[in-house]
Amino acid sequence: MSMAMLFLLSLVLASSAPRLAVVEALVVDGLKMGFYNRTCPEAEQVIRNVVQTEVGMDRTIAPGLIRIFFHDCFITGCDASILLDESPSGDVPEKESSANGFTLHGLRTIDVAKSTIEAMCPRTVSCSDILSFAARDAAVAAGLPSYEVAGGRRDGVHSRMDDLPGNFPVPGHTVPRLTELFQSRGLSQEDLVTLSGAHSIGGAHCFMFSNRIYGFSKTSEIDPSLDPAYAERLRKICPRPRPDDDPEAAPKVDFDERTGQKLDNSYYQELLARRSLLTSDNTLAMDPQTRPLVEQYAKDDALFQKRFGEAMQKVSALDVIIQKTKGQIRRDCRMVNKARGIRWMPMLHFPKPPKHPMLQMINWFIRGFQRD
Ligand code: HEM
């Protein structure tokens, strides 16, 4: 190669180097900041407006959206599989798992965002991206400083309730099992402590923690790791469980008694004061491995809020579908698109017997409260 050619080549490389660096900084696991800048520039703003409006009318939508997002990404990645009402394979969908079911809150907000966006930019913005943006906007509406969310996820076409058992954290788990589960999804123990801070907003139904306040053990009616005055307050709100209770009618208690609508570090202060609802929360303050970080967050709200945003970014990149040949951009977040050119064959559907609410509860007691 002549000297002139080498000189030209070095000029080209030098001029392209900074551009490459910028592109690299914007790409996260195949996802891209500003992914819809050209194809649907208003998308992120529209989602933000929808979330702000809905949360403005009902504050409980914010925790609901963050939870749907986490439950979606933890099982088979951020593919909006949790939003499907039915799976084409005929499997019972994730939505019907006892970890989801009627306790999922905020699904309608995603429907509103999707239909608004579909009217503007048909078949362009995936449900999984909408959910990731909406979870960020919900966190911001609850007081978290904003963080960037990359786009480019495609929607999955499968959803199976059976993917949850054994792969999903339940209220009775303690640090070793929680750590194991988080690590199996590429999340660290620090992420576990940080993301559990989502329980700074929203709440839990009494049956999720009634084992701690009624008949806890042979020697103690109440979990001795609970502040006794707090346990008494919980018993006033949550009556002793009875076999004919309707879980959907169970009272719901705020995780954080003091600032239950603000995504802040008071959750960690409450943990240290032995005021927590779930065993899986309490264990973070009890276990010597996680307690130091709980103590650090309890003292430093800014640190918690910064790390929470970063951990949510990490969750939003879990097992995303980005190849054009895989997944799809759903038109309706509740169902996969029908194959093009194929008229939808009327399927023979044998309706599943409705699940009695009591069966759901039994399911929780068997799977949910078992200890490792
Ligand atoms: C570490 C293991 C975890 C367990 C065992 C767990 C379990 C639960 C349970 C049982 C509820 C109460 C549901 C109800 O009764 O309606 C709940 C609520 C909630 N969870 Fe978790 N969770 C965990 C981690 C997380 C993470 C990592 C996030 C998000 C990043 C999260 C976000 C939420 C939110 C925001 C609520 C309140 C929902 C509402 O009020 O509508 N959780 N969780």
Poorest-confidence range of 61-75, 217-231, 299-313, 353-367? Answer: 353-367
The answer on 48 and 77 residing in a single domain is: yes
The verdict on residue 347 lying in a domain is: no
For the stretch 64-87, pLDDT in tens is: 999 999 999 999 999 999 999 999
The answer on 79 and 40 residing in a single domain is: yes
Check residue 357 and give its pLDDT: 58
- What are the strands, taking DSSP E only, across the chain? 27-28, 31-32, 203-205, 252-254
Q: How does the average pLDDT of the chain come out, rounded? A: 88
Residue 29 has pLDDT above 60, yes or no: yes
268-272, Cβ contacts within 8 angstroms, sequence gap of 24 or more = 268/197, 268/294, 268/295, 268/297, 268/298, 268/304, 269/298, 271/298, 272/298
The answer on 136 and 188 residing in a single domain is: no
The answer on 86 and 192 residing in a single domain is: no
The answer on 284 and 221 residing in a single domain is: yes
The answer on 179 and 291 residing in a single domain is: yes
CB-based burial of residue 11 (10 Å sphere; 0-12 exposed, 13-18 middle, 19+ buried)?
exposed
Closest C-alpha among 192, 187, 158, 148 to residue 31? 148
Name the pTM for this structure. 0.88
The verdict on residue 21 lying in a domain is: no
Q: Kindly state the average pLDDT of the residues 231-239.
A: 98
Residue 366 has pLDDT above 60, yes or no: no
Cα 278 to averaged position of ligand 1 atoms, centre (Å): 9
Q: How far apart, in whole angstroms, are the C-alpha atoms of residue 7 and residue 10?
A: 5
Question: From the centroid of its chain, how far is CA 299?
Answer: 25
Q: How far apart, in whole angstroms, are the C-alpha atoms of residue 320 and residue 76?
A: 9
The answer on 36 and 99 residing in a single domain is: yes
Cα 267 to averaged position of ligand 1 atoms, centre (Å): 13
Cα 288 to averaged position of ligand 1 atoms, centre (Å): 23
The verdict on residue 9 lying in a domain is: no
Q: How far apart, in whole angstroms, are the C-alpha atoms of residue 165 and residue 130?
A: 26
Residue 274: which CATH number? 1.10.420.10
Domain that holds residue 218: 175-315
- The preferred substitution site among 199, 237, 276, 313 for testing ligand 1, maximizing ligand atoms within 8 Å of CB, is 199
Q: How far apart, in whole angstroms, are the C-alpha atoms of residue 4 and residue 158?
A: 57
- Counted domains in the chain: 2
The answer on 324 and 311 residing in a single domain is: no
- In this structure, the residues whose C-beta lies within 6 A of any atom of ligand 1 are 60, 63-64, 66-67, 70, 103, 105, 169-171, 173, 178, 195-196, 198-199, 201-205, 208, 278, 280
The answer on 333 and 294 residing in a single domain is: no
Q: How far is CA 154 from CA 66, 77, 85, 369, in A?
A: 19, 11, 18, 35
Residue 122: which CATH number? 1.10.520.10
The answer on 203 and 190 residing in a single domain is: yes
Query: Which residues are annotated as catalytic?
Result: 71
Residue 231 has pLDDT above 50, yes or no: yes
The answer on 332 and 269 residing in a single domain is: no
Check residue 165 and give its pLDDT: 94
The verdict on residue 26 lying in a domain is: no
Q: How far apart, in whole angstroms, are the C-alpha atoms of residue 221 and residue 234?
A: 13
The residue nearest atom 24 of ligand 1, judged by CA position, is 196
- The preferred substitution site among 58, 65, 67 for testing ligand 1, maximizing ligand atoms within 8 Å of CB, is 67
The verdict on residue 8 lying in a domain is: no
For the stretch 94-150, pLDDT in tens is: 999 999 999 999 999 999 999 999 999 999 999 999 999 999 999 999 999 999 999
The answer on 234 and 200 residing in a single domain is: yes
Cα 199 to averaged position of ligand 1 atoms, centre (Å): 6
Q: Kindly state the average pLDDT of the residues 220-244.
A: 97
For the stretch 272-289, pLDDT in tens is: 999 999 999 999 999 999
The verdict on residue 3 lying in a domain is: no
The verdict on residue 11 lying in a domain is: no
